[in-house]
């Protein structure tokens, strides 16, 4: 397939060459914050994860698109990422599940891509210098360079307002009622909750009184994009809910719960994006392999009213917290794992146990 030449330029001036693919924007360039994902498969789930809003995903695995795309693997109604970077984009997929090629999916949803690029060099650069803003495109090099110099990262950015649902909706038919705050909730997350509960998913901007009026047995805090420190209104809502109803948070929901408990967050150098991160449960000693997608983490010294329940064995980052008296717990990683291993799906059962016994059992 013939593709026009394209350039990728990071905010520090590093330049890469490739070819434009997917959607070709009229202005010839797209910008965002570059991060890399180390998963070997699950590219469609990754691209449609709302947590990537404002970011450009570089896949470290060289061959992407091999098995095409299917609506069954979508984690949102559309991708929210700004673009994707691929070494080798497969033109002709092979899978009985496939309904079409990945590039057609990218074009359908207006997602630009750059392919044929040395993703190993890009990954090493991001590992050394941290996640960087930048731009890529098929426009003139000076246009891409100017866009890269003006590109913004995710610090201080609220992307939740853009990705959250605009109207409440319900799923499931269990005897327990859970209200899920949608900060950018993934479809697999909704599916796991709806298997166990009668679920009401509400916009991220609802207040504590509105949530209370729904009479939930528990509240779930979803994943989502951007900087948790930019979500003061959401943190205040959680402060009002603490102690009134059991709470379970994942990813951004974990960070916001930590903030509500008096903690704070910081930005990791290049984040955790992949499906094979080892995490240890400090109470049981068990180790699980986890799927992760986050750029921010909880500051250990900031926790005053919660205990650390899980840690990342690669770098010691806090991966879980709990507070038995407030009947709340959260994890930084993704127990629903779409894509990824299912080692941690027991956490949804732990949430159900909390709601049924009104006691947080951590063993």
Instruction: Report whether pLDDT(177) > 60.
Output: yes
Instruction: Report whether pLDDT(363) > 90.
Output: no
Instruction: Report whether pLDDT(309) > 80.
Output: yes
Beta strands in 23-126 (DSSP E): 30-37, 55-59, 63-64, 83-86, 88-89, 112-115
User: Has 82 been annotated as catalytic?
Assistant: no
93 near 68, Cβ under 8 Å? yes
CB burial of 30-68 (b: ≥16 within 10 Å; e: otherwise) equals bbbbbbbbebeebbbbbbbbbbbbbbbbbbbbeebbbbb
pLDDT single digits (tens) 93-128: 999 999 999 999 999 999 999 999 999 999 999 999
CA 203 to chain CA centroid, nearest Å: 17
For residue 157, count other CB atoms closer than 10 A to its CB. 16
Domains of the chain as residue ranges with CATH: 5-150 (3.50.30.20), 160-357 (3.40.50.880)
pLDDT single digits (tens) 70-80: 999 999 999 99
Q: Is 142 exposed, middle or buried (0-12, 13-18, 19+ CB in 10 A)?
A: exposed
350 near 309, Cβ under 8 Å? no
* Of 96 and 342, more confident: 96
Residue 349 DSSP SS3: helix
User: Has 125 been annotated as catalytic?
Assistant: no
Q: What pLDDT, on a 0 to 100 scale, did the predictor assign at position 216?
A: 98
Instruction: Report whether pLDDT(342) > 90.
Output: no
Report whether the peptide linkage leading into residue 144 is cis, meaning its omega lies within 30 degrees of zero.
no
**Alpha-carbon distances, residue 77 vs 111, 187, 248, 332 (angstroms):** 14, 9, 24, 24
Instruction: Report whether pLDDT(85) > 60.
Output: yes
pTM above 0.85, yes or no: yes
Q: Is 7 exposed, middle or buried (0-12, 13-18, 19+ CB in 10 A)?
A: buried
Instruction: Report whether pLDDT(52) > 80.
Output: yes
Instruction: Name the residue among 242, 236, 196 with its Cα closest to residue 219.
Output: 242
User: Has 334 been annotated as catalytic?
Assistant: yes
**Would you place residue 362 in the very low, low, confident or very high pLDDT band (cuts 50, 70, 90)?**
low
Residue 24 DSSP SS3: coil
The first and second tokens of residue 225, run together, are 């994009």
Contacts of 270 (CB under 8 A, 6+ apart): 35, 36, 126, 127, 130, 131
- From the list 82, 251, 326, 352, the catalytic residue is 251
Instruction: Report whether pLDDT(226) > 70.
Output: yes
Q: What pLDDT, on a 0 to 100 scale, did the predictor assign at position 343?
A: 87
- From the list 82, 319, 334, 352, the catalytic residue is 334
For residues 149-177, average pLDDT: 96
- From the list 45, 74, 288, 336, the catalytic residue is 336
């Amino acid at each position: 397939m013939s593709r026009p030449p394209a350039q990728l330029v990071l905010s520090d001036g590093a330049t890469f060459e490739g070819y434009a693919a997917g959607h070709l924007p009229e202005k010839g360039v797209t910008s965002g914050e570059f991060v890399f994902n180390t998963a070997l498969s699950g590219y469609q789930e990754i691209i449609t994860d709302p947590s990537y809003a404002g970011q450009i995903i570089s896949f470290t695995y060289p061959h992407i698109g091999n098995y095409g795309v299917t609506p069954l693997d979508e984690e949102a109604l559309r991708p929210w990422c700004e673009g994707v970077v691929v070494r080798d984009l497969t033109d002709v997929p092979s899978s009985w599940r496939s309904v079409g090629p990945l590039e057609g999916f990218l074009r359908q949803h207006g997602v630009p891509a750059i392919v044929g690029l040395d993703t190993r060099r890009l990954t090493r650069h991001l590992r050394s210098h941290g996640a960087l803003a930048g731009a890529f495109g098929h426009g003139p090099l000076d246009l891409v360079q100017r866009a890269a110099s003006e590109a913004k990262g995710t610090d201080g950015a609220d992307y939740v307002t853009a990705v959250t649902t605009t109207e409440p909706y319900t799923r499931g038919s269990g005897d327990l009622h859970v209200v899920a705050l949608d900060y950018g909730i993934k479809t697999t997350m909704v599916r796991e909750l709806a298997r166990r509960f009668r679920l009401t998913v509400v916009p991220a901007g609802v207040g504590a009184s509105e949530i209370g009026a729904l009479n939930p047995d528990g509240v779930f805090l979803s994943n989502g994009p951007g900087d948790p420190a930019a979500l003061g209104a959401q943190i205040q809502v959680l402060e009002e809910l603490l102690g009134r109803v059991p709470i379970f948070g994942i990813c951004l929901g974990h960070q916001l719960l930590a903030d509500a408990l008096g903690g704070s967050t910081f930005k990791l150098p290049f984040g955790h994006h992949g499906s094979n991160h080892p995490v240890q449960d400090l109470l049981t000693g068990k180790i699980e392999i986890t799927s992760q997608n986050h750029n921010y983490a909880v500051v250990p010294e900031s926790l005053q009213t919660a205990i650390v329940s899980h840690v990342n064995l690669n770098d010691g980052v806090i991966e879980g917290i709990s507070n038995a008296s407030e009947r709340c717990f959260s994890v930084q990683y993704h127990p629903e794992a779409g894509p990824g291993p299912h080692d941690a799906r027991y956490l949804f059962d732990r949430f159900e146990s909390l709601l049924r016994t009104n006691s947080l059992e951590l063993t």
